[in-house]
Structures are given as structure tokens and as C-alpha cells.
Structure 1
Amino acid sequence: MNDSALDSAEQYQTIARAIHYICANAKRQPTLKEIAEAMGFSEYHLQRVFTAWAGVSPKRFLQYVTKAHALEALRASQDVLGVSLDAGLSGSGRLHDLMVSCEAMSPGEIKALGGGLVIGFGLAPTPFGQALLGWTPRGICHLVFCDSDESVQIESLKSRWPESTLQRDDLAASQLSGRIFAKELERGKLHLVIRGTNFQIKVWEALLQVPSSRVVSYRQLAELAGVPKAQRAVGSALAANTVGYLIPCHRVIRSDGELGSFRWGVARKQAIQTWEACSDG
């Protein structure tokens, strides 16, 4: 197999397998040869594919999956808890610079179950595998990763908005994905339309203020959201998020440095964190 034979989805599957192996064996620091043999690839091939995707070698990636690195990242994120939150987050983080904005759907819109609403949707490649995207004239309302039968995710979208008119457009979805995951992003161009309880929206809006390549603990996020004693409920709010990546649940880890859960898989969570860190230099 050569690099050109791998499309973006297949490339991510290779990377996901490598990440899973690296994370599972990080304590003993496996060599490039060991990782490549576990993947069934040559060292040269794995090095090329991994570096092209992540921007760093598998060996460098090991640094990102150690608990020491995670704990250091948590300590570095303490400033996001300050009163001058916006000033503290004025760095060059990719999604922070993008200034993703969002608005909540009104109770009336939610009660109508999408009646009179036109939702475009489609499957698109991303650096982290296939994703199902959904959007309205007001903004993006859905982004979930698809590791199994795509029909399951499509039915989930339909059941969430049973009275809406869904219009499939995979080309538009691919174009939207290209904007979301582009290396060079334009400021202020993406708008989210989100549906959730008041508590969930409060948590998601707090999470949007955590810049790319940074992580916070569940406790820190609870403080950011103004609910310091509701760490368990914060975790439930993250699990209910249906706008993956843009509402960056992947940036929340446990206070002991462990990754914690992620509805689209821990390997993908680690992949996104590392991809952002490498993209931000």
C-alpha cells in the first residue's frame, strides 16, 4: 500500500489504530518499529502517513499521551478561570481565532420539533473519519462522527427533528467540512445553532471559550460555567453535545490527567487534541 492509496477516511482509520496502540503501550515507550509491525506497515510508511496527518512523528506523539504532559496542560489552563477570561484567551488558537459564535433555539422552535425548518445534511470526510453534518439557514446544528452504519446517524438526526424537512447534499457537506477543518481559518465565519436545556447550553458556551490546543478538567469547566459543584452534570452535558469538534468536548479531561470518556472514542479524542496542538505549533 502507498500513501496515495489512502483517502482521508482510510488514513484516519490507520492513524486511529496507531494512536490506540501508542496510548495502550505508552508506559513502555514502544519504538517506531514496534508500532509499525503492530499496524502491519513498514516503518517508512507509518512515519510518512502519521507525520503527514499529525504534523509530528509517532515518537513525538508519545509526548502528548503521557500523564505528565496532560497535567502540565491542565496547570497551564488555570488562567481561563480568571475574571478577564476573554483577554486571557486572545492567543493564536485556531478555533478561538475563528470566533465560533452560537445561538440557542427558542423553546417554541424546540417544541415544534423542527416544523417549518429546512435542515440540510450530508456525509463528509474529515481528518478524523467520516462525519454527518447538519445545517439550517442560521448555522450548523449537527456534527457527529460516523464509525459504523451511516444510516443509524441519519435516523438519529431525523428523530431529533421529525417535523423538519431534511435535504441531503453531500457536496455542500464536504464544502462545509473543508471550512471547519481548514488549516487556515477565516475569522468569524462559522455560526452554530444549538438545541439543549438551559444548563447544557451554559456548559457548551463556557466550553467554547477554551482555546485550541488547551485542555480543562471537568472541575475547571464547571467553574467556567458558574456551577462549580455540578461536575457530574457537566459530564452529562458534554455527552449530550451533537455538534462535535466545534463545541470542543475533546478539550475536557480528568483532573488526574487521564483523558476521560468521549462519545466518539478515546482514540479520536486524543487524535483531535494532538492535531490541534500540532496545528497551533
Structure 2
Amino acid sequence: MTGNEVQDETITWQTGHCYLGEILVARALNGVCAVLPGESPEELVTELARRFPDAILEHANNSRADWFADVMSYLIDSRKPLSVQLDLRGTDFQCRVWRALQEIPSGCSASYGEIARRMGMPTASRAVAGACAANPLAVVVPCHRVLHRDGSLSGYRWGIKRKQAVLSHEQGLSER
């Protein structure tokens, strides 16, 4: 999809359930490459296959896998550091945006324009929004923390209800 997939690469995946619904976590050789929320495991595996059309997809069938457990733990409490390696796959610009998003602390937010300015590209707010929409790592690359400049919720790849749920969950954590 972005030109940095590997032919015949094996991607291992596992599904679980949390406050966002069903979650699929996928790991390639270089780290976790997808965290996808959705309605059903079948839908999520279909989405994973669409994102990685040349990969061999293997069900981990082991909810105790460290990488899976770490991501699920992070979904419960995003104030904890994520200890798994992430395999960011996108254009150079998308990866820069995704790294900038990871600097927004849990319970905080930024606007698309603020992210663009932090990156030294003050007129790139629409491009930042596009990179957020292409993010394959829900919550662990926190595109949900990016809001309109007036603080209102804007689009979210996995739906506004999920965006609100993650923000409310994180706000609850910061009030503890």
C-alpha cells in the first residue's frame, strides 16, 4: 500500500476485546505493524489482509504473547510506556507525523495545525490530517489526540464514537 511492504512477509496477528470493541494486533519481524479496532475479528482480519496484501497472515493463537499483552495493557492504561517496537509503515511524511503524535501525552491533545507547526511545516495541517487518517496503529500512535483548532472532534478512521471513547478513557485515567 505504501511501497514498504515485504513480499511473502509473515505477519502474526491476535484479537482481543476492550472498551473499543474487538481489537486486532499484528506483528511483523520489525515490530507491531497494526492495531485495528472494529466490530468483529473477521472484519479485522479482512482489513489486515487489505493493508498487507503480499503478507502471509498467521493467527498467533496465543493471547499470552508479550507483544499482544503489552499492546492490550497500553489500551487499558496509555500512561504506561509502550515497551514493544513499532513497525511504522508509510511515506516519510506520514512516519514523521506519527512520531510527532507519539509525543502528545495521554490525556492531552493538539490541533492539526499545531502538529504541522511542530514539524516545521505550518501550512501542512491538511496533510497532517491525511496522515492521521492513514494511521494503522490505533491508540498506540495517538491520532485520536488530534482535534480541530477549536477543540472539537474531527474525523477518525475508526469512527467519532471510538475517538470520543478513547479520549474519555484517557481523561478518566488522568483524573485518577
Q: TM-score, normalised by structure 1?
A: 0.55
**Distance in 1 between residues matched to 2:143 and 2:78, nearest whole Å:** 22
**Distance in 2 between residues matched to 1:261 and 1:199, nearest whole Å:** 20
Equivalent residue in structure 1 for 2:102, among 208, 218, 221: 208
Root-mean-square deviation (CA, aligned residues, Å) is: 2.3
Q: Check whether the contact 1:213–1:273 (CA below 8 A) recurs between aligned residues.
A: yes
- Deviations 1:208-253 (CA, angstroms, capped at 9, x unpaired): 1111100101111111222110111111111000100010011011
Pairing of 1:42-121 with structure 2 (within 5 A)? 110=4, 113-121=5-13
Identity, in percent, stands at: 30
- Between Structure 1 and Structure 2, how many residues are aligned? 171
* Structure 1 residues 263 and 160: alpha-carbon distance in aligned structure 2, compared to 1, 3 A threshold: closer
| SS in structure 1 at match of 2:16 | strand
Query: Which is helix-richer, 1 or 2?
Result: 1
User: Which residue of 1 is the match for residue 111 of structure 2?
Assistant: 217
Q: TM-score, normalised by structure 2?
A: 0.85
Q: Check whether the contact 1:114–1:162 (CA below 8 A) recurs between aligned residues.
A: no
Partner AA of 1:255 in structure 2: R
User: Which residue of 1 is the match for residue 50 of structure 2?
Assistant: 159
**Distance in 2 between residues matched to 1:139 and 1:145, nearest whole Å:** 18
Q: Check whether the contact 2:34–2:136 (CA below 8 A) recurs between aligned residues.
A: yes
Q: Check whether the contact 1:219–1:228 (CA below 8 A) recurs between aligned residues.
A: yes
Q: Note the residue ranges of structure 2 that are not aligned, 5 or more in a row.
A: none
Partner AA of 1:153 in structure 2: L
User: Which residue of 2 is the match for residue 249 of structure 1?
Assistant: 143
User: Which residue of 1 is the match for residue 19 of structure 2?
Assistant: 127
**Distance in 2 between residues matched to 1:177 and 1:126, nearest whole Å:** 11
- Deviations 1:100-122 (CA, angstroms, capped at 9, x unpaired): xxxxxxx6xx2xx3324221112
Q: Note the residue ranges of structure 1 that are not aligned, 5 or more in a row.
A: 1-106
**Distance in 1 between residues matched to 2:148 and 2:16, nearest whole Å:** 31
- Deviations 1:36-91 (CA, angstroms, capped at 9, x unpaired): xxxxxxxxxxxxxxxxxxxxxxxxxxxxxxxxxxxxxxxxxxxxxxxxxxxxxxxx
Q: Check whether the contact 1:124–1:132 (CA below 8 A) recurs between aligned residues.
A: yes
**Distance in 1 between residues matched to 2:162 and 2:36, nearest whole Å:** 12
